[in-house]
């Protein structure tokens, strides 16, 4: 996937821009990059213009600019990207933190978002025990200046099917990518962005404002950090459909790409709605 670059609030943002047609803006997971969506970019770009901005400090994006203080800031920054590309309306497909900022974007600027696909995400506040656990992992990585093997033994399995047998090559590549993060990247990007994500506000009460007929919640049936119960809770609040992705954990886009591709190609309109 070819990368493009743009200045947003004084920092260089990297993004993929591939294909032609109605725009699909895709948000990837924390600790990943646009490559997480590679199977979907390949499939969707035959019918749509697919844009995948990379989180600050991830992929080829620079560290977060000073104004990146909460989830609403990420939505504001990606709106600036849409404005710079003269995109007035798009579908939003967000996985994990991509879904979190995607909801902020849809709530703050409803005229800019057509269909909203929330995958393996949760718009409630992070439960206290897991937030503190994640903060402790960030403390350890920042102190060490790297993701040590003991940390990777904890972190990597969180993102995949609990059975441990799926996509071994993806798991190994993910582990290698985390191992390659520099101390500077961990301390200046990964740590502050992680605290922003896991310290996010509770948006559950606002979900009823989303357009139920144009929203859907998807999640891997074996998702560890974002279990199906959370997806069902959000779908009830939105009043929209929810569906489980079989044989998939948190990164369902890579664990069961065929199901994700088929769904998106069938559910996303090819003309503005």
Question: 144 in a domain, yes or no?
Answer: no
Which parts of the chain have pLDDT scores under 50? 273
- The whole-angstrom separation of Cα 229 and Cα 251 is 17
Question: 169 in a domain, yes or no?
Answer: no
The pLDDT assigned to 271 comes to 64
- The whole-angstrom separation of Cα 243 and Cα 108 is 26
- The whole-angstrom separation of Cα 154 and Cα 157 is 6
The pLDDT assigned to 166 comes to 85
The pLDDT assigned to 270 comes to 84
The pLDDT assigned to 273 comes to 44
pLDDT tens string 243-253: 999 999 999 99
Q: Which domain holds residue 73?
A: 3-124+201-267
Question: 98 in a domain, yes or no?
Answer: yes
pLDDT tens string 189-222: 999 999 999 999 999 999 999 999 999 999 999 9
State the total domains in the chain.
1
Question: 44 in a domain, yes or no?
Answer: yes
Task: Report strand pairing: 11-18 vs 49-53.
Answer: antiparallel
Question: 139 in a domain, yes or no?
Answer: no
Question: 186 in a domain, yes or no?
Answer: no
The CATH number that applies at residue 20 is: 3.40.50.1820
CA-to-CA separations, 160 to 85, 151, 185, 244, 253, in angstroms, rounded: 34, 16, 24, 15, 11
């Amino acid at each position: 996937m070819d990368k493009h670059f743009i200045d947003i609030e004084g920092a260089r943002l990297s993004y993929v821009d591939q294909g032609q047609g109605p725009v699909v803006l895709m948000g990837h997971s924390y600790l990943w990059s646009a490559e997480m969506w590679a199977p979907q970019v390949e499939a969707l770009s035959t019918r749509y213009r697919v844009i995948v901005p990379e989180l600050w400090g991830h992929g080829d994006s620079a560290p977060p600019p000073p104004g990146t203080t909460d989830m609403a800031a990420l939505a504001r920054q990606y709106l600036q990207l849409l404005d710079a590309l003269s995109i007035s309306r798009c579908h939003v497909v967000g996985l994990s933190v991509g879904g979190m900022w995607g909801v902020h974007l849809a709530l703050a600027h409803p005229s800019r978002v057509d269909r909203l696909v929330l995958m393996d995400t949760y718009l409630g506040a992070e439960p206290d025990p897991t937030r503190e656990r994640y903060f402790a992992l960030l403390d350890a990585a920042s102190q060490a200046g790297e993701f040590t093997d003991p940390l990777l033994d904890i972190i990597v399995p969180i993102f995949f099917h609990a059975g441990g047998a799926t996509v071994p090559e993806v798991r190994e590549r993910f582990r290698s990518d985390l191992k390659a993060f520099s101390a500077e990247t961990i301390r200046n990007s990964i740590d502050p962005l992680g605290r922003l994500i896991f310290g996010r506000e509770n948006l559950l009460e606002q979900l009823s404002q989303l357009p139920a007929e144009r929203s859907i919640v998807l999640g891997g049936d074996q998702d560890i950090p974002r279990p199906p119960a959370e997806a069902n809770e959000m779908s009830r609040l939105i009043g929209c459909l929810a569906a489980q992705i079989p044989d998939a954990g948190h990164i369902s886009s890579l664990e069961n790409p065929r199901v994700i591709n088929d769904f998106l190609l069938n559910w996303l309109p090819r003309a503005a709605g």
